[in-house]
Chains A and B, each alone.
Chain A
């Protein structure tokens, strides 16, 4: 029988000779495993006289603890060596390009419409939807256009069937909303907004298109004035264009408002016309049975495309609906 000391010495040398954690694993099971050298020793305990047994047992256990400690120490050393080797071997060229995701973004018009919508929602407006294929009556007649008036010349329309056209302005929603008021489906006061596509028979160039987008908002309440219009437009313009922006009114003519103005914002040292506005014509309110002495309202509308053109410096309106990926890839994701 080998002496405990001999086994420990042999194990110590074997541990020191291990060159990998795998080799160490084998050494460990050779000495400390179920059928390992230490277990063999313990099995001999029965052959000893009873009085020697406690001491022998203690010595074997000390030997086992000693070997365990040596193995643990060696394992740590080997593990560190192996990690160091792995790190050396695994070094990447971090200048190689990353795996690209698919380029997916929202369209710049959507981004703008989202901003406009957020601004008007914050000002208490409720958004509604209206048809793009609209009745002539809602597009013009309900908006106080005199029959066949030159005011319609600026709004040459695409006709579909008798009395149907592609709406030339989102303002066409007004009559539909006032009918809801008349039928008792809505009540005053009102703050309504609509955002959507409009069409005019107009030749296409860098600043004109037969297809474009508009936002319209209107409010009806007791005592609504031009000052409320200016106040609301100023708030809206500041959300959209910055805290420093001021709003200027200039008289203009739209059959559905009186007084009618176009509104401009202060921009790069000058004034930039953005859209049309005014007080809802009392003829319209009265037509829908609303007491125009008690109630008044304002309305304003502006083109959507103008906003990203200013914001991003886009010089050609046609780019928006062409969907060239090289164009669309230039805008923020959200």
Chain B
């Protein structure tokens, strides 16, 4: 809201510079965002929090200035007159006005108060230059004396007004009611609206003539030919205004204020004020009397505040005289009680509901700089991380040690092949979740899998010439299942390009499946998880069917899936290089991870080393050979490693040569060459009979 300083001084005189005043207001919760120098003078631009509708006017700000500055400012006679009227409006009678107009409120729940006055025989002309300047300074365009008067009073007091051309109203009637099915209205901005039955309308005897509290209709507006005016000043239900304004996409200075609650007493005060100004500018007095429909007046409210409670909550001592003075300057009319003050809450402060609200008023006017810095006393609590958070931290350290770069990417994403092609981490069927109100197609889905954002990140970097990527991300994914919405924390891995950074001493080597698997094995080992890799085959169309694996723990729970992305998807993203990815459930990993580590004594007896080589058909999975070697090797076999794999010349078509390095060791004694040789022979035999291998001795 814009507050021209010279306008403010109509109500309070003070010696402060605009900057000093801005600082005071800001520190009292009325944030001055900017001090503007305009052709019409200095203007404060304020942000008013949504609970302080009473500050959406020059007068409302003047009230705050008075409460803040106290004796350092001088309220003007106009201030005191308006202040008295607002706290206790003078009584009104219909008088002669009833002869010229009629008001009926059919829906008092949405329009608790409606006031109308009539002004006859005005001549439409420009408003005085001073008024025009003030409107411009406040950010409004001058139009004509009557319209400017309504805007002027709205800015001054915060009560939106609307002037109808009385002669365009059928039967000079105002009927306030909900819209009827099929009714339409064209508003002042030339837009035509279809109305819904829950929208409150100002109507004449036949049709809607204004969208209540939001905008007038084009057919009844004041024009240069207007002679007779019906001036509307009303109080509307904030919720109804907000909903209608949103439904019609009509946001106005008027709806902005009504949404935030406008003092029902202003219905009368603003009428007095606007007619007073019109008479002053045009010489035409209003018809005596005012129509005022207010069947259920808002009740007066009193609250009590205990001084000791205020001191306890704010944490600083408060002088009772200072407290009383502060409450009095806020128009709260405090009276002393044994423990504090009873106050009368003006209707314009609906935000003051209970004691704590008064404590805040005391705090903010006395100044929060008085609050000391006291560390909390009493029971201390133990700080601790959430189990999920702590595990994610552990995982980050492990992946960092595997040489992966962490990324953090967007949750909102476009439709993509990683969501339509299934999830891979569960047998259940899940659907991706679409937003009801996306900002754009690019941001219309909740992330279904981390693979989509990792691949987009790879794509983004590749377009900037960065092709070697080794990434991980820990983030949430979302899906709709039969049980409703699901949200999981996942780990995603992506590796593509060359395995190591370009270097003069080493030839570039493209990342392959086994690099990815190595990282995953490193991670699983660090977590103490024994896992199995099972072929995905054609169960997941996101992956190369021959280069992908499910990762299961020893209880056969699925931890994740890894593999090369399917060439069809790679083609969609225009990847020429192979892209390897993996996705894991953090929950599954956390549950599978070893929680304790038991130390084993270092071996005492020497190892016996044997390297063995075999020729074996390539279609035999090497994992099965490992299983056989371990089984036959028994307790003595401490470790087995594959150190060479060879195909090519001297090796028959369809076979490959594999060389394993075996370490035998007993925990009880030194093994003899003979007994180890015998065990190796048994291994050879098993490999031959079970897998068709030929020993290369």
Contact = CB atoms under 8 A, between A and B. Distances in A.
Interface of A: 96-97, 99-107, 109-110, 114, 117, 120-129, 131-133, 147-151, 153-154, 158-161, 164, 166, 189-191, 195, 197, 199, 201, 203, 210-211, 219, 221-228, 230-232, 234-235, 247-253, 255, 258-261, 279, 281-282, 296, 320-326, 328, 333-334
Nearest to A202: B439
B186 interface: no
Given A219-B376, A324-B464, 12 more contacts: A107-B407, A125-B381, A131-B487, A133-B433, A159-B436, A191-B383, A225-B312, A225-B314, A250-B31, A251-B28, A279-B356, A321-B410
A99 B505 contact: yes
B381 A210 contact: no
A225 B313 contact: yes
11 contacts: A117-B389, A122-B383, A126-B383, A127-B389, A150-B50, A189-B378, A221-B379, A226-B313, A228-B376, A250-B31, A281-B356
Contacts of B378: 189, 221-223
A251 B412 contact: no
B412 A210 contact: yes
Contacts of B573: none
Interface stretch (B143-151, B268-276, B366-374): B366-374
Contacts of A123: 383
Given A230-B371, A323-B409, A325-B466, A102 B437 contact: no
Nearest to A197: B411
Nearest to A101: B403
A249 B368 contact: yes
B622 interface: no
A326 B471 CA distance: 14
A228 B313 CA distance: 10
Given A127-B384, A151-B51, A235 B375 contact: yes
A103 B468 CA distance: 10
A228 B375 contact: yes
Interface in B361-406: 363-364, 368-369, 371-386, 388-389, 393, 396, 399-400, 402-406
A222 B400 CA distance: 44
Contact of B433 (A160, A222, A334): A160
B368 A250 contact: yes
A15 to B, nearest CB: 39
B316 interface: yes
B301 interface: no
A180 to B, nearest CB: 14
A67 to B, nearest CB: 38
Given A97-B504, A133-B433, A323-B460, A231 B373 contact: yes
Given A127-B384, A226-B371, A258 B260 contact: no
B464 A102 contact: no
B415 to A, nearest CB: 16
Contact of A250 (B27, B242, B404): B27
Contact of A227 (B374, B382, B399): B374
B386 A234 contact: no
B460 A104 contact: no
B32 to A, nearest CB: 11
Contacts of B555: none
B359 A132 contact: no
Question: Which of A97, A117, A160 counts the most chain B CB atoms within 10 A?
Answer: A160
A102 B501 contact: yes
B373 to A, nearest CB: 4
Given A151-B51, A225-B315, A321 B409 contact: yes
Going nearest first, the 6 A-B pairs with the smallest beta carbon separation are A227-B315, A251-B29, A253-B49, A121-B383, A259-B360, A249-B368
A127 B385 contact: yes
Nearest to B434: A160
Nearest to A293: B309
A123 B381 CA distance: 9
Nearest to B380: A124
A61 B470 CA distance: 70
B586 to A, nearest CB: 11
B26 interface: yes
B404 A114 contact: no
B346 to A, nearest CB: 19
Contacts of A252: 29, 31, 49
B437 A201 contact: yes
Question: Which of A120, A127, A222, A232 counts the most chain B CB atoms within 10 A?
Answer: A127
B410 A211 contact: yes
Nearest to B376: A228
B478 interface: yes
A247 B374 CA distance: 12
Contacts of B410: 211, 321
B443 interface: yes
Interface in B217-266: 239, 242-243, 259-260
Contacts of B51: 151, 253, 255
B43 to A, nearest CB: 22
B248 to A, nearest CB: 15
A260 B360 contact: yes
Nearest to A119: B383
A222 B378 CA distance: 8
Contact of A321 (B239, B371, B408, B437): B408
Contacts of B476: 132, 197
B331 interface: no
B125 interface: no
A110 B406 contact: yes
Given A107-B407, A109-B408, A189-B378, A227 B466 contact: no
Contacts of B375: 228, 231-232, 235
A60 to B, nearest CB: 41
A128 to B, nearest CB: 5
A99 to B, nearest CB: 6
B666 interface: no
A251 B29 CA distance: 4
B452 interface: no
A222 B386 CA distance: 25
B354 interface: yes
A246 B11 CA distance: 37
Nearest to B438: A158
Contacts of A102: 403-405, 470, 500-501
Contacts of B506: 99
B13 to A, nearest CB: 25
A270 to B, nearest CB: 12
B485 interface: yes
A312 B381 CA distance: 33
Given A99-B505, A326-B466, A228 B374 contact: yes
Question: Which of B26, B356, B376, B382 counts the most chain A CB atoms within 10 A?
Answer: B376
A160 B28 CA distance: 38
Given A189-B381, A228-B315, A325 B29 contact: no
A17 to B, nearest CB: 42
B167 interface: no
Contacts of A259: 313-314, 356, 359-360, 363-364
A100 B438 CA distance: 44
Contacts of A121: 383-385
Given A148-B239, A325-B469, A127 B386 contact: yes
Given A127-B384, A133-B485, A226-B315, A105 B406 contact: yes
Nearest to A320: B408
A161 B409 contact: no
A100 B379 contact: no
A164 to B, nearest CB: 7
B18 interface: no
A260 B410 CA distance: 31
B357 interface: yes
A323 B505 contact: no
B464 A326 contact: yes
A161 B436 contact: yes
Contact of B376 (A128, A160, A221): A221
Given A106-B396, A323-B457, A159 B435 contact: yes
A215 B217 CA distance: 48
